[in-house]
A = this chain, B = another copy of it.
């Protein structure tokens, strides 16, 4: 049974999910990123078409209107960090030991029927479908009033914590607002109160003016490597107009967002030779959907280095690549 425990030294809730010890590991079965026609990998893969019975019941899917074959498929995570059946009441085991049931949800969004296609190589329409599904699931999960935040992310590669290679995203609904997100909202709110503008939009304007760290732009989005990136080649994608919540993103933005994601991931794929990375969508928690001090954004976090004792002890990051050098490297030979 998953549970959450409160760390009174930091204000974090920690998820305890002993069941996740049982997860399969990508490396156990497949030694190398498989070729497009690695049949043996596909035969064992619970996310491949034909193996639908290997997953728990389907939650949602987009299907081809003529063939009825699924294009994007959502299933519960078989080894969930949090579960809808659990309770979110606080239990006090003593003066400082507080816990609660592992209440929440943990879903898998299978990105494509193809076992080995990276997201950068998918058609824009397919990326758009994935984004639409992420929003659709977010909106559905938010109907459960116990869930306070929706964490949307994708792991690519072993160093990024992937346990199954077939490309997928994950959605975790948490019964608390993570302290780190509260902190980000608070910093943005303080800036707004002092300066009268959305912090993230000011960042965008200053990055566009500096013209050193921009990776790609279109009419609705900007991709850039932030001035104070925590990781080498860390890349953010942000809407050009402030909007606090991804779950309220307007219809007409899905296409331009899919386009810029494809372009950015392709640059990273080529420049860094298919790096392991995490991609997260930072969006407003419940109740903050209208806080115009904060703008939702995507963070792409290549996992090229290992956090060591300094990072663990201080919480600070050591980045060995200046973001302007990283941007120049990624743009070399391009007209963008």
User: Is A299 interfacial (CB-CB < 8 Å)?
Assistant: yes
Cβ-defined contact, A309 with B183, below 8 A = no
Interface flag for A14 (CB, 8 Å):
yes
Bin chain A's interface residue count. 35 or more
- Say if the beta carbon of A308 comes within 8 Å of chain B: yes
Closest Cβ of chain B to A150, distance in Å, is 10
CA of A99 to CA of B183, assembled, Å? 21
Smallest CB-CB separation from A283: which chain B residue?
B313
Asked whether A10 and B316 contact (CB < 8 A) given A153-B309, A202-B95, A309-B154, the answer is no
Do A8 and B187 touch (CB < 8 A)? yes
Chain B residue with Cβ nearest A308: B161
A residues with CB within 8 A of B: 5-21, 81, 94-97, 149, 151-155, 158-162, 170, 172, 174, 178-181, 183-184, 187-188, 191, 199-200, 202-203, 206, 209-210, 226-230, 278-282, 299, 301, 305-310, 312-322, 325
Please, could you name 14 A-B residue pairs with CB atoms under 8 Å apart, sorted by A? A11-B187, A12-B315, A18-B321, A21-B321, A94-B206, A94-B209, A95-B202, A95-B206, A96-B227, A97-B210, A159-B306, A160-B309, A161-B305, A180-B314
